[in-house]
Amino acid sequence: MKILKILLSAFFLIGLLTYSCFLVNVDRIKKTFLLIAQDAYLKHNMLRVNVGIKGDDLKTTRILILTGTVLSEDLKEKAHLIALSIDGVTDVENNLKIQNRDKGFNFKRLKPKNRKIKSHLR
């Protein structure tokens, strides 16, 4: 009976130690994971893509959540594929919005300032 109590206490302490180690390291692991994902989008010049991770603490997953805006459906799909190519990602929630370009923008209203350019080639 005494050995059973010792074994149960040992398993309880091992579980408690594992739980506390996970809680201490989960933020560091999550931040590293996000930095890797953000770096992947910087390399592809996709500056308007924001990356998050689904879940907190013990419910943290390896599912990336993409938010922000892109200019086309192709770029939205490219962002999705970039996320899936990151080591450790199991799934992607692609919440990117496609930004419509304003086709009615009038460039004629933009007038350059009338400045005289001095030529240094004389």
The secondary structure of 78-108, three-state, reads HHHHHHHHCCCCCEEEECCEECCCCCCCCHH
Closest residue by Cα to residue 36 from 96, 88, 94:
88
Report the pLDDT value the prediction gives residue 23, as an integer from 0 to 100. Answer: 78
Integer Cα distance of 52 and 96 in angstroms? 12
The residue ranges of every structural domain in the chain are 27-101
Task: State which residues of the chain have pLDDT below 70.
Answer: 58, 101-122
Q: Which two tokens stand for residue 34?
A: 């996000």
pLDDT of residue 56: 79
pLDDT at 92 (0 to 100): 93
What DSSP character marks residue 48?
T
Do residues 70 and 46 make contact, with C-beta atoms less than 8 angstroms apart? yes
pTM, entire model: 0.65
CATH architecture of 27-101: 2-Layer Sandwich (3.30)
Q: d(Cα 121, Cα 43) in Å, to the nearest integer?
A: 41
